[in-house]
Every structure is written in structure tokens, then in C-alpha cells.
Structure 1
């Protein structure tokens, strides 16, 4: 007899399940947290590479379609994180839900956020170095390098307030993808609910700190190795500022979403 259960749990059920998951994540040993964080940074980096590759070949598409296509490619990163299992800083901002429920403490949350953020950065940088060593940026007669440089220049050229606002919006969408995936019953269902919000945030050009850990260095090093002209405003300092402001925006967006769901469903525990 076919299973008649819905493909997606109810919002209240998701809140309970995700709260349990966040408690488990917050209490991981430092070694596991760092190892899984490195993996997540690399997994998101794979999504960044695919997005840059698609963007490099989408010059003839109308504005909007090209960005949407790149977003579909980037979704592979979060699918890998969720299905293969890894620790992603931006998804872990939802720990505000069990924090508000007093199931974990502020020190545990800050430890998880800081360790995973740093580990994500290490994983992203390692992925970028391997990709450059493999010559991925030289594909399409250098079109991929040009795409990476242009994207990095666009991100580094934004003003702090715009980056923070963009980071809020980006992580609301990322955390909604994580939220819905927590309520999906199968791997196929999880992948299906992840793709739309992730494709949307990429298509809208929003700022995701962990994605930028691979996108910004990729553009900067591709520029240095190919000898392309350095776009105005693109520098390591500007990249660092982008990461700082986008991280703040991501914290506000994901953490705020977790608190909204605590107010709505989290008090039912």
C-alpha cells in the first residue's frame, strides 16, 4: 500500500525537528564541527564554481534568465551540504530557535557560529586553490576567469548598508531552504525544496557570506594569474569588508527568521 503521508511536514513539525537538529549541531565536539565546517565551505564553493561557469556562457541570455540559470547551478552547493551532511554557518543562524527555547546557551551558539564560520572559510579557500590549480578558470578561453572577476568586482563595489540589507535577504531565503528541507521526507523532496529559494537569492544578486568566501578570492586570484585588468574597487581589503558586512546581514536574516518561528511555533514544545 502506498505511503499516504505528506511529502513535507507541517510548519510546527518542522520547528520541532529543526530545533532538535540545531541542539545536536551546537553540542558537536570542536573537531567534528571544524571538519564538517570545512566540508560545507568546499560544498558551497562547488556551487560557486558552477554558477560562475554558467554565467560565463550566458552572455546572450536576457538579464534575469542568465542570473536564474546561474542560481540553479549554485543550488548544488546547499544540496550537498544538506544531503551529504555538513556544518554551514548561514544555516546555523537558525540556532536562535532553540536558544530562545532555552535548550542551548548563548556561549554554545557563539562557539558554533565562530568555529563553523572559520571552518567554512578554510574549506572555501581550499576549494578555490584546487580549482585554480586545475585550471578551471581558464575554461572557455578565459571566459570563466572573466566571469569570476566581474562577479567579484560587483560584490566588492557595494556600499556597507547595501551589503547588510542584501545579506539579510539572502539568508532569509537560504534558511527557508534549510527549513523546508528539514521537513521533506526524501532526498528528492529535499533537493526539490532547496532549489527555488537558492536560485532566487543568486538571481537577485544577494550577498551570502559563505558563497563570497569562494567567489571573491576566485575573482581576485583569477585576475592575478591571467593578467586581466583589475576592476576599480576590487581588492583584498574590499573583499574582507564584504565578508564582514554580509556576515552581519546573514546573522540578522537567519537569526531573525529563527526567532519568528520560535514566536509562532517554538513555544509549543
Structure 2
């Protein structure tokens, strides 16, 4: 499990962000679609484990399998690209523009949502025998999750919105740590171990992940959850995305870049900007 030192994996982070900016629309959408589908299928698996065993920790321990698989296969989550892609802009990589960053984010969002929604429909079919009967125990639990994490926040007003945002921040602090942890090792086992721990933490703690929620809430609506699409957007998805952006970029991307990037260190030492070569 060869360890990659911070100065080296931070360079990998910047390189990865640059590559994603210039990736074709086709490849970006395919990779994002598959990432959304695999992650949310793992979420459905974790909820099933929780319901059938009555042990939330069991689901949290097993959930990271989806995250590990999708990153080992080179697929992209919005939470990851929000952390990596801006670093290429900050590092002044040639040809990387703010428009390119937003283009990548937009395409990955669409792909992730497409994959998550596909899984939501497929799992709703399995939970209801093709919508021919009431949802089974797992389906009912998903409906209640949607209620608690939309109207449940709304009941607390501004305090609920703040809590939702902070849970989004904490979530992508951990998820992006998992993304970076995969770059800390050159072996599959090392990458998996590095990714597993922070992903397990965020899931067990009930933090808000924008892509997992792209599955839970559309699925919850199909399974009888008592909340609306606007509840989902206003009292979950939009604040969660903003929290995810702050958490991943501020606490992982920028923190690592500021202290371990050669260019950032040169700027700090000289007190002035060092142009890209």
C-alpha cells in the first residue's frame, strides 16, 4: 500500500481537475450517470440493511462499497468535481476558465441526477411489485426519510435551514476527504481503505449528500412520502449542494492546496503571485 506524500497527491488533485474541465460532453455525462447510479444503488442497499437488521451502523459500514467502486472505475460525482476542478483554475492551468468549471459542474449534475433517478424508478418498482401494491418495509422507510429531511427541516424555519446547510458542509468535508484519500496510495487496497472510513462516517452521522438525496427524495415521492417537489428542492437539494460546495472546496481542496501545492507555497513565500509556466 505505497503511500503518496501530500505534495504529490495535491498535484494529482490539480491534474485531475484540469482533465475534467477538458473532458468531452459525452464522457462527462456517461461517467456522471454511472457514478450517480452506483452510489445510489449502494444507498438503497444500506437502507435495506438498516431496515432488515435494525442496526444503522451495519448499513453505514457497508455503504462505502458503492463509492469505492465508482471511483475505482473512474466515474465522477458532483461532490468530487466541486472540490477538484476549481483547483485547476486557482492554479492558473492554461485554458482553464470559470466557464469551463461551471460547464463541468452542470454536466456532472445532470449525469448524476439521471443515474440516481434511474435507480429510484427501478427500486420503486422492486419495492412495490411494479406499483401493484403498497411499498414494502424498505420502501416505507425511504418515504419517511424524505419527509423527515424536508418538511422536518422546514418545521424549524431558519434554524432548520442552517442545520441542513451545515450537514451539507460536513458531508462533503468527509466525502472529498475520501476522494483525496484514494490518491494517497498506489494500490487498490490502500485506496479502498482510505476511501472507506470518511464515507462510512458521513453516512452514519446522517449528513446531507446531494447525490444520495437525488435518489432518496424522488424515490420517496414515488413511495408515498408526504412532501412535495418544492419541499425537496428548497428544503434539501439546493441548500445541500451549496453546503457540499463549501465543505469540499474550503475544508479539503483549498486547505490542501494552500499548504501543500508548490505554487501556493511559492506565492506565500514571495508575497506575490507566481504566474503559471
> Is 2:259 aligned against 1:264?
yes
Aligned residues: 248
Give unpaired runs (5+ residues) of structure 1.
1-5, 60-65, 224-229
> Is 2:79 aligned against 1:73?
no
The equivalent residue for 1:62 is: none
Q: 2:233 aligns with which of 222, 240, 248?
A: 240
Separation in structure 1 between the aligned mates of residue 139 and residue 123 of structure 2, nearest angstrom:
11
The equivalent residue for 1:164 is: 165
Residues 1-269 of structure 1: matches in 2 within 5 Å? 7-59=2-54, 66-94=55-83, 95-103=85-93, 104-135=96-127, 142-156=136-150, 157-158=152-153, 159-223=160-224, 230-231=225-226, 234-241=227-234, 242-256=236-250, 257-268=252-263
Pairwise CA distance, 1:130:
1.6
Pairwise CA distance, 1:13:
1.2
Give unpaired runs (5+ residues) of structure 2.
154-159, 265-277
TM-score (normalizing by structure 2): 0.84
Separation in structure 2 between the aligned mates of residue 262 and residue 193 of structure 1, nearest angstrom:
19
1:100-148 residue CA offsets vs partner (Å, 9 max, x unmatched): 111122111111011101110011001111222234789xx82111221
Separation in structure 2 between the aligned mates of residue 137 and residue 162 of structure 1, nearest angstrom:
36
C-alpha contact (below 8 Å) 1:136/1:144 kept by paired residues = no
Separation in structure 2 between the aligned mates of residue 163 and residue 67 of structure 1, nearest angstrom:
20
C-alpha contact (below 8 Å) 1:74/1:199 kept by paired residues = yes
1:156-205 residue CA offsets vs partner (Å, 9 max, x unmatched): 12222111111010001000000010122122221111111011001111
Change (3 A) 1:136 1:79: farther
Structure 1 window deviating more from structure 2 (102-111 vs 162-171): it is: 102-111
Pairwise CA distance, 1:267:
3.4
Change (3 A) 1:73 1:220: farther
Structure 2 residue matching 1:85: 3-state secondary structure: coil
C-alpha contact (below 8 Å) 1:14/1:183 kept by paired residues = yes
Separation in structure 1 between the aligned mates of residue 61 and residue 86 of structure 2, nearest angstrom:
28
C-alpha contact (below 8 Å) 1:55/1:147 kept by paired residues = no
Separation in structure 2 between the aligned mates of residue 147 and residue 189 of structure 1, nearest angstrom:
34
Superposition RMSD in Å: 1.9
Pairwise CA distance, 1:73:
2.4
